[in-house]
Amino acid sequence: MKILEKKTVTDYEVLPEGSPYQLIEGELVMSPAPGFEHQQTSINISHRLYSFLKQKAIGRVLYAPLDVYIDEENVYQPDIVVILKGSKAKITRKGVYGPPDVVVEILSPSTAYYDLTQKKDVYERSGVREYWIVDPLRRTFEVYLNTEEGFKLISKAKGKGVVRSEVLSLELELEEVFEGIEP
């Protein structure tokens, strides 16, 4: 049996630019291009966040592909991140260093396992303030707030309804989130 050597940021950074990999707990994981429902959902959420953050002048929204350096064994490309003024996370030419204030992962069949398990655990322990998990196929949206006890589900909706972000003081209508996607 061959034991795989854990990879680090140094290994990740020698990959060609645009390589479809993430470094998850020391393992290089390939992610295929997302499908239509995923992309449409990402556009809808990004547009809403961009408009909100610009109006309030409280931060920035960035979307994939963008490297987010969490630690030496974890470099992710979340679908969407929000960096608020005064954040622990710092935006550089290479990407974002440190935990974003809000991370949005839009589930795809090829990435859902990592988004719901390993990446969620790393986001939690690194200090991501809020983690949003959106499933365009099931039309669900969950918002987790990072508390002293870890991530706690604070808002969720399926099909229709509203979810609320405590960190952003923002409500999102599911009909707007999933606009343009056939049920």
**For the segment 30-79, what is each residue's pLDDT rounded down to a tens digit?**
888 889 999 999 999 999 999 999 999 999 999 999 999 999 999 999 99
pLDDT of 142 strictly over 70: yes
92 lies in a domain? yes
91 lies in a domain? yes
Amino acid in position 116: L
160 lies in a domain? yes
4 lies in a domain? no
2 lies in a domain? no
Between the alpha carbon of residue 66 and those of residues 31, 135, 170, the distances in Å are 13, 21, 24
- Domain count along the chain: 1
Predicted TM-score (pTM) of this structure: 0.93
Q: Within 13 Å and on the Cβ side, how many CA atoms surround 126? A: 28
108 lies in a domain? yes
Q: What is the CATH number of the domain that holds 86?
A: 3.90.1570.10
pLDDT band at 171 (very low <50, low <70, confident <90, very high): very high
pLDDT of 3 strictly over 70: no
182 lies in a domain? no
Q: Which domain holds residue 62?
A: 9-177
pLDDT band at 110 (very low <50, low <70, confident <90, very high): confident
Q: How far apart are CA 174 and CA 163, in angstroms?
A: 8
Average pLDDT score, the chain: 94
pLDDT tens string 20-39? 888 999 898 888 888 999 99
117 lies in a domain? yes
Residue 109 CB: number of other CB atoms within 10 A? 10
